[in-house]
């Protein structure tokens, strides 16, 4: 039993062990697949709206689901082998699983801290969370700087996947050096999209996904876009109203009302993946690049509806031409 004295909470080792086990169980339950992660992030945000990163994570997770389902849709299977598509899917899945496994215990520990009115961030080390985030959560607890915490979580998540995914030799060879991936990367077919119920798409793209600096820059840009006062409510309304299935039909039905669904729902094509767990190193070296803290917008336009339509046409035309000669 914990004893509350004023605003401080004193826990026995047994109490802390129970809390750690409970958070681990909840995290594992919510980390089954892309659908469960997306819902968990959004559900958490609805209860803890000061943690703005949770909504951003939910939106980015939706995009990951759409990218996954593209691999089993009507177009990519025409030009990409089933073996290569499986490799790409597992890369998406591994990255998002790793981020959730690292980030969700942080969110739950903060939520619990608010309930007892005492910071419990010293327990983050038991979840192998970087010492960087322990410092940042303590700073947030004291100063309540929502934007800095969101930026810190963006920096952390991208560093979390840098070594096991981006720098992984096997993944680098089979996915990031794969010609069609590079082709889409260069032409900006890859973009993170925020839909609205009005059939509009906002977002931003990154042309060098393997660059840590570029991914953090993109995350900061997306965060700035997501919380634009004139757009936030539209994004949040879509997220609350439209259940995430992994199919692009979730939002394309508002852009192309007469278009038939060309991508499946995620759980109809992908089983739960059993990931291996290993002890990870703390990426934090007491140095954070100044550029990582910049939350400014990109110069590119954020309204991407017409851009998306054009890029989809280009991609389909390229696939048709490629498939024509096979």
pLDDT on residue 324: 63
Q: Is residue 315 part of a domain?
A: yes
29-71 pLDDT tens trace: 999 999 999 999 999 999 999 999 999 999 999 999 999 999 9
Give whole-number Cα distances, 46 to 2, 3, 39, 51, 302, in Å: 28, 30, 11, 10, 25
For residue 23, being part of any structural domain is answered with yes
The pLDDT score that the predictor gives to residue 2 is 41
**Per residue in 148-157, is it b (16+ CB within 10 Å) or e — as a string?**
ebbbbbbbbb
Strand 191-195 to 3-5 pairing: unpaired
> What pLDDT is stored for residue 1 in this prediction?
35
Whether residue 2 lies inside any domain: the answer is no
Mean pLDDT, the chain, rounded, equals: 90
- pLDDT at residue number 244: 98
What's the domain count of the chain?
1
266 lies in which domain range? 9-324
φ and ψ at residue 55, rounded to 5 degrees: -70, -40
Residue 163 scores a pLDDT above 60: yes
Helix, strand, or coil (residue 194): strand
**165/102 Cα distance (integer angstroms):** 14
- Note whether residue 3 is domain-resident: no
R_g over Cα of the chain: 20
> pLDDT (tens digit, 9 = 90+) per residue, 187-244?
566 789 999 999 999 999 888 889 999 999 999 999 999 999 999 999 999 999 999 9
| Residue 130, in any domain of the structure | yes
Q: What are phi and psi of 296, to 5 degrees?
A: -80, 160
7: pLDDT confidence band, cut at 50, 70 and 90?
very low
Say if 25 falls within a structural domain. Answer: yes
32 belongs to a structural domain = yes
- Measured in degrees and rounded to the nearest 5, phi and psi for residue 206 equal -130, 135
pLDDT digits (tens, 9 = 90+) for 106-155: 999 999 999 999 999 999 999 999 999 999 999 999 999 999 999 999 99
Q: Does the pLDDT at position 180 exceed 80?
A: no
d(CA 81, CA 141): 49
Sign of the CA dihedral with 161 first, then 59, 150, and 224 last: positive
Evaluate whether residue 39 is within a structural domain: yes
% pLDDT > 90, the chain: 74
């Amino acid at each position: 039993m914990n004893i509350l004295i004023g605003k401080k909470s004193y826990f026995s080792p047994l109490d802390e062990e129970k809390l750690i086990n409970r958070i681990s169980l909840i995290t594992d339950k919510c980390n089954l697949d892309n659908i469960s992660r997306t819902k968990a992030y959004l559900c958490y945000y609805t209860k803890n709206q000061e943690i703005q990163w949770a909504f951003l994570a939910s939106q980015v997770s939706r995009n990951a689901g759409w990218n996954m389902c593209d691999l089993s849709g009507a177009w990519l299977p025409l030009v990409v082998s089933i073996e290569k598509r499986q490799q790409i899917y597992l890369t998406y899945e591994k990255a998002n699983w790793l981020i959730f496994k690292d980030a969700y215990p942080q969110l739950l520990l903060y939520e619990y801290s608010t309930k007892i009115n005492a910071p419990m961030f010293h327990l983050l080390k038991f979840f192998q969370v970087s010492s960087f985030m322990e410092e940042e959560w303590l700073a947030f607890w004291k100063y309540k700087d929502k934007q800095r915490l969101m930026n810190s979580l963006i920096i952390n998540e991208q560093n979390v996947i840098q070594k096991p995914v981006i720098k992984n030799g096997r993944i680098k060879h089979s996915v990031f050096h794969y010609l069609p991936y590079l082709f889409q990367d260069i032409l900006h077919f890859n973009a993170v999209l925020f839909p609205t119920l009005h059939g509009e798409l906002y977002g931003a793209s990154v042309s060098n996904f393997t660059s840590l600096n570029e991914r953090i820059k993109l995350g900061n840009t997306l965060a700035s876009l997501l919380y634009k006062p004139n757009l936030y409510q539209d994004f949040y309304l879509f997220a609350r109203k439209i259940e995430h299935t992994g199919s692009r039909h979730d939002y394309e039905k508002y852009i192309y009302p007469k278009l038939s669904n060309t991508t499946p729902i995620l759980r109809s094509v992908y089983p739960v993946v059993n990931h291996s767990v290993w002890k990870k190193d703390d990426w934090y070296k007491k140095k954070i690049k100044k550029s990582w803290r910049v939350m400014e917008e990109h110069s590119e336009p954020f309204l991407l509806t017409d851009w998306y339509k054009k890029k989809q046409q280009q991609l389909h035309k390229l696939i048709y031409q490629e498939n024509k000669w096979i």
